[in-house]
A and B are shown apart, each in its own frame.
Chain A
Amino acid sequence: MKSFATALNLAWAYLRQRPLPTLLNVLLLGLGVGTIIALILTLKQAEERMERDTAGVDLVIGAKGSPLQLILSSVFQMDIPTGNVPLAEAAPIIAARQVKLAIPLALGDSFKTFRIVGTEPAYIDLYGATLLEGRLWAKPLEAVVGADVARLTGLKIGQRFPGSHGLTEGGETHADHPYIVVGVLKSTGTVADRLILTSVESIWAVHDHEEEAEGKKPDGAQVKTKKSAKSAASAGNASSAVAPHPVYADQNDHDPQHDHPREHQNEHQHDEDKEITAYLIQYSNPLAAASFPRMVNASTSMQAASPALETSRLFALLGIGVSTLKVFAAIMMVCSALGIFIGLMNTLNEQREDLALLRMLGATPATVFFTVALQGFALGLLGVILGLLLGHLGAEWMGYAIQKTHRIYLTGWVWVKEEGAIVAVALVLAIFAALVPAWRAYRNAVSETLNDV
Chain B
Amino acid sequence: MLIAIENLDAGYNTPAGRQSVVKIGHLSIAQGEHTLLLGPSGSGKTTLLNVLSGLALPFSGKIVIDGTTLNALSAAERDKFRCQKIGLVMQRLHLISALNVGNNLLLTQRLAGMARDLNRVSAVLRALGIEHKAKKYPRTLSQGEAQRVAIARAVLNRPPIVLADEPTSALDDANCDTAIDLLFAQAHEHGATLVVATHDARIKHRFSRVHELVASK
Contact = CB atoms under 8 A, between A and B. Distances in A.
A353 interface: yes
Contacts of B79: 359, 362-364
Contacts of B80: 362
Given A449-B47, A450-B46, A450-B90, A13 B98 contact: yes
Contacts of A428: none
B112 A453 contact: no
Given A361-B88, A361-B108, A450 B83 contact: no
B76 interface: yes
A397 interface: no
Interface residues of A, number: 28
A20 to B, nearest CB: 15
Nearest to B78: A362
Given A10-B98, A354-B98, A360 B46 contact: no
Interface string A335-361: 000000000000000110110111111
B27 interface: no
B110 interface: yes
Interface size class, chain B: 20 to 34
B25 to A, nearest CB: 23
B49 interface: yes
Chain A binding site: helix, strand, loop or mixed by DSSP?
helix
Interface string A425-453: 00000000000000000000010011101
Contacts of A9: 107
A44 interface: no
Interface stretch (B50-58, B121-129, B171-179, B202-210): B50-58
B68 interface: no
Nearest to A448: B55
B93 A13 contact: no
User: B47, B95, B97 — which one has the most chain A CB atoms within 10 A of its CB?
Assistant: B97
A360 B91 CA distance: 14
Given A6-B107, A361-B111, A449-B50, A356 B93 contact: yes
A292 interface: no
A354 B97 contact: yes
Interface string A381-419: 000000000000000000000000000000000000000
A17 interface: yes
Nearest to B112: A362
A353 B139 CA distance: 14
Interface of B: 12, 46-47, 49-50, 53, 55-56, 75-76, 79-80, 82-84, 88, 90, 93, 95-99, 103, 107-108, 110-113, 153, 165
Given A450-B50, A451-B12, 4 more contacts: A13-B103, A357-B96, A449-B12, A450-B90
